[in-house]
Amino acid sequence: MAFHIMAGASGEFVRPEVRKITVADLMDALRLGLDDFAEKPSHYVFLCLMYPITGVFLIMWSSGANLLPLIYPLISGFALVGPIAALGLYEISRRREQQLDSAWHHALEVRHSPALPSIIAVGFMLFALFIAWLVVAQRIYTVTFGEAGLTSVFTFLSDVLTTPRGASLMLWGNLAGFAFAIIVLATTVVTFPLLLDRDVGAIAAVNASIRATLANPGPVALWGLIVAALLVVGTIPIFVGLAVVMPILGHSTWHLYRKLIAAYPNRMP
């Protein structure tokens, strides 16, 4: 497993060629992602997942006011682990691109990928960032509001929305969340699609993602804003919209990868 994580199948550290892209390329990636979704709609699958997730949040909401400070970090933190949830979507787009059978059961073929150890390693990295985000968010709340327990949902919302302490909590919390989002975007914008396409190893894939971000700071930043905006829209109402937003973003990310990373000479661009 360490072999694939560090160096990939070739045993060497590779540096895939990074391309420069434009805003027009972003729009084209979204268009192609929408085409994939229209051809192989997956909203029914994601709709089945959204209801249990919503139920978990509702149970947490009703189980005690002391959990309230973590509700927003948990919901917003979903974007930090979103690249993992989209693995099957990348695989479907990859197969459709190569004119292979792209029936939905092939999304599970990810488990047979030779790069699975590397995929798991990067997944653990994202999970660690998610936990770190929750710890930081809780710490910001404790520093701002102290250790005293909450008495009610109304009191919590009133304190957050109408007091200087609440304004400070939202400011520092959103700044911290923004920092975590930048880290995840820069390290994973092409990482998982690249690993599915080529067994280059986790370190090389993350390196390629960072280089793609540095070579295209404007377009990648705009992509991050598009993802964030669509995820916010997708949470309305009660997360059901994510059943459509998530598949489109997942497919689009595959096509964004194709634009950011040059293909092998013997493969289609």
Of the candidates 50, 120, 54, the residue with the CA atom closest to the CA atom of residue 87: 120
What percentage of the chain has pLDDT greater than the value 90?
Answer: 36
Average pLDDT score, the chain: 82
Check whether 269 has a pLDDT greater than 60. Answer: no
Of the candidates 111, 118, 90, 91, the residue with the CA atom closest to the CA atom of residue 204: 118
Instruction: Find the angle CA(49)-CA(224)-CA(190) to the nearest 5 degrees.
Output: 80
Q: What is the pLDDT of residue 49?
A: 61
Q: What is the pLDDT of residue 5?
A: 67
First to last CA, the chain: 30
Q: In whole angstroms, what is the distance from residue 126 CA to residue 13 CA?
A: 22
Q: What is the pLDDT of residue 58?
A: 53
Reported as type and span, the H/E element at residue 108 is none
108 pLDDT band, cuts 50/70/90, is confident
Angle in degrees, 0-180, between the axes of helices 164-188 and 217-234, rounded to the nearest 10: 120
Q: Say what the pTM is.
A: 0.83
72 pLDDT band, cuts 50/70/90, is confident
Q: What is the pLDDT of residue 74?
A: 77
268 pLDDT band, cuts 50/70/90, is very low
Q: What is the pLDDT of residue 145?
A: 85
Q: What is the pLDDT of residue 184?
A: 93
Q: What is the pLDDT of residue 1?
A: 47
Check whether 212 has a pLDDT greater than 90. Answer: yes
Q: What is the pLDDT of residue 80?
A: 81
Contact (Cβ atoms closer than 8 angstroms) between residue 3 and residue 110: no
Q: What is the pLDDT of residue 55?
A: 53
Task: Specify whether the backbone of 11 is left (phi greater than 0), alpha (psi in -120 to 50) or beta.
Answer: left
Contact (Cβ atoms closer than 8 angstroms) between residue 6 and residue 201: yes
Helices and strands per DSSP (H, E), number in the chain: 12, 0
Of the candidates 233, 183, 198, 221, the residue with the CA atom closest to the CA atom of residue 83: 183
Check whether 162 has a pLDDT greater than 60. Answer: yes
Instruction: Find the angle CA(112)-CA(102)-CA(121) to the nearest 5 degrees.
Output: 30
